[in-house]
Chain A
Amino acid sequence: DVKVTQSSRYLVKRTGEKVFLECVQDMDHENMFWYRQDPGLGLRLIYFSYDVKMKEKGDIPEGYSVSREKKERFSLILESASTNQTSMYLCASSLHHSYEQYFGPGTRLTVT
């Protein structure tokens, strides 16, 4: 069964902290994605990766960075958390030439 896991379901951080969100998939997928979901805005792509050590900016990369050292793991980093980064963060993965993405359960991050 396809599985994408995210390290935390809920996270509370202070403004200015460095935050790491981890995502692991067990399907040997080449593509991995990070989105944030906000009310009225849907899912917006932050970064994606189509191979180990490769990364591409999505639509809203400002304030974020990513790391993909292993095929199964894709990390999202908030260099200095701000209150406007309070959101639901969703990780997804897909096969190289497939449109169908599989999502993790999400991490609800609150920055105070």
Chain B
Amino acid sequence: DQQVKQNSPSLSVQEGRISILNCDYTNSMFDYFLWYKKYPAEGPTFLISISSIKDKNEDGRFTVFLNKSAKHLSLHIVPSQPGDSAVYFCAASWAQGAQKLVFGQGTRLTINP
């Protein structure tokens, strides 16, 4: 049972435009969410996170939005750059989860020049 879902396996965006990656979750216990970025032949690297007490967190070109009632989060990248081409994973955790993360399937983002 996939508790964290990324329903778009791939996304293609023009350089300079906004990239929006989506993630849905089913477990109401989740209270912390993270986005990771993964290049081929490298391990995932942490990008940005958000606690369930917030609905938005911003870090430079990256903004994560959380809609708890819809159990939905999204990552916005503005403006998109060629170096943003990678696979993006959303992940969720919960206070009693011993810092375990539950990952989505990933979305491959391609930024076209």
Q: Quick one: closest A residue to B3, CB to CB?
A: A59
Contact surface of A with B, Cβ cutoff 8 Å? 4, 9, 31, 33, 35, 40-45, 48, 50, 56, 58, 90, 92, 94, 96-106
Question: B106 and A31: CB pair below 8 A?
Answer: no
Which segment, of B53-61, B66-74, B94-102, faces chain A? B94-102
Q: Which of B45, B46, B101 has the most A CB atoms < 10 Å from its CB?
A: B101
Show the binding face of B for A, using Cβ within 8 Å. Answer: 4, 6, 9, 32, 34, 36, 41-46, 49, 89, 91, 93, 98-106
Q: Is the CB of B105 within 8 A of A104?
A: no
Contact check, A103 vs B99: say whether CB atoms are below 8 A apart: no
Asked whether, in the complex, the Cβ of A90 is within 8 Å of the Cβ of B44, the reply is yes
Most buried by A among B9, B44, B93: B44
**Cross-chain pair count, CB within 8 angstroms:** 63
Q: CB-nearest residue of chain B relative to A10?
A: B41
Closest to A6 in B: B43
Bound form: Cα–Cα A96–B98 in Å: 8
> Closest approach, in angstroms, between the C-beta of A8 and any C-beta of chain B?
13
Considering the chains assembled together, what is the distance between the CA atoms of A92 and B45 in angstroms? 10
Q: Return B94 CB to nearest CB of chain A, in Å.
A: 10
Question: How long is the Cα–Cα vector from A94 to B6 in the complex, in angstroms?
Answer: 24
